[in-house]
Copies of this chain bind each other. A is one copy, B any other.
Amino acid sequence: MNASTATVSTLTQSKPTGYVRQLAEAARATSHAIASLDSAQRVALLQAMADAVAAGSDDILKANATDMQRAADAGTTGAMLDRLKLDADRVAGIVTAIREVADLPDPVGQVTRSDVRPNGLQVDKVRIPLGLIAMIYEARPNVTADAAALCLRAGNAVLLRGGSEARDSNIAIAACLHRALRDQGLPAEAVSLVEDTAREHVLELLQLSDLIDLAIPRGGEKLIRFVAEHARVPVIKHYKGVCHLYVDRAADPVLALKLAIDGKLSRPGVCNALETMLVHADIAEQWLPGALAELSARGAEIRGCDRTRALFADAVPATEDDYDAEYLAPILAVRVVDDIDEAIAHIQRYTSDHTEVIASTDTAASDRFIREIRSSAVVVNASSRFNDGGALGLGAEIGISTTRLHAYGPMGLESLTIERYVVRGEGQVRHPDVAG
């Protein structure tokens, strides 16, 4: 017996191979019907989905209680259990979120370019839906409704594979969405849920390049790496956010401290929180001791380079690993740099392509920072925490991409569409000598 058969034999194989292909084929078969709906029909569908979730609240809470019990029995505690939990308020939040997506401007049909060629051809670039989108995610059951709402609003069908821990909640939410689809005279398979959460079915899903136009994994780095490693379908992902704040020699000291505190401490467990602060040597002596004392007093653990530690004795020595770390905790790596070149070189080396911030009143410095840093968001004199769909004006987001292809940064509705060409003529041919 080799390694791969050993792996398969330890999985609960309650559904046969081909189970996900059948689901995906059924979902894909609906994609033309969904893509052909006009904006008002898609808005009506989302409102019906919101109504159905509100009406199904009791069933959803009952199912969630089953999930919570199973998780508690398995010894799950703390943040993980909290992410899984639904109550009346959280279900109401799901309903509101669907209605907010319904209210977003429609990207489908948007003409992004229009041109009349010298031969009279009218050439337009027009947004259309992608087709079938697969979402692969973990604990939070609200993603089931959020992802379905975003995909359908942009005219796509969706194949959902949530985590095993939220299985009953996801089935209950999907049942509401199916009711709404059927009430609108649409096929329920436009939202298809992979109910059997065995790992082998994720592997099968990731091979379906003839059916799935895009897969978006959302969850921990381990899940994302698993998806990236095994996918034959296109994947847009982000592994982690190692976000930097560079405090330039020309930084406003009060502003820089505000950005450090907000970036590190307002919500340390999210991907747009700061992990490393780089400080120009010319400002370090005067600014760093007070700034680190303040951060420390507010609960941050400081891990510093030698020059940082010479200015702030409480700092733990920083290692190479610290510059690579997404702490998801109130820990900040701090390094003093000789100049902006060294700051840019540090970021280019350790960046996760997520968010980098410069605090500087010197426009030449910030322009250079913008030019040489190619992360999904470069921020001048504001907090890294603004890199999300809501704060940047996209409305709801389906994820944040650090893949420098198709979408980069927060992915809103527009990222769930693609531009194609519509060409209108009056009999133009390429070779009039042939076809004349």
Measured CB to CB, the residues of A under 8 A from B are 32, 35-36, 115, 117, 121, 123, 128-131, 209, 213-214, 228-229, 232, 234, 252, 254-255, 258-259, 261-262, 265-267, 348, 366, 370-372, 374-383, 385-387, 391-393, 403-406, 408-410, 418-431, 434-436
Contact = CB atoms under 8 A, between A and B. Distances in A.
A172 B86 CA distance: 66
Given A255-B426, A382-B427, 5 more contacts: A259-B435, A261-B429, A262-B435, A382-B429, A386-B430
Most buried by B among A409, A410, A427: A427
A266 B434 contact: yes
Given A234-B405, A386-B430, A375 B425 contact: no
A61 to B, nearest CB: 31
A129 B404 CA distance: 9
A33 to B, nearest CB: 10
Given A32-B348, A36-B371, A128-B374, A383 B435 contact: yes
Given A427-B382, A430-B266, A408 B404 contact: no
Given A386-B121, A434-B265, A434-B266, A131 B404 contact: yes
A428 B429 CA distance: 56
Most chain-B CB neighbours within 10 Å: which of A32, A228, A418?
A418
Contacts of A391: 117, 121, 430
Q: Which of A213, A259, A410, A423 has the most CB of B within 10 A?
A: A423
B421 A123 contact: no
A343 to B, nearest CB: 14
Nearest to A434: B266
Contacts of A255: 426-427
Contacts of A366: 424
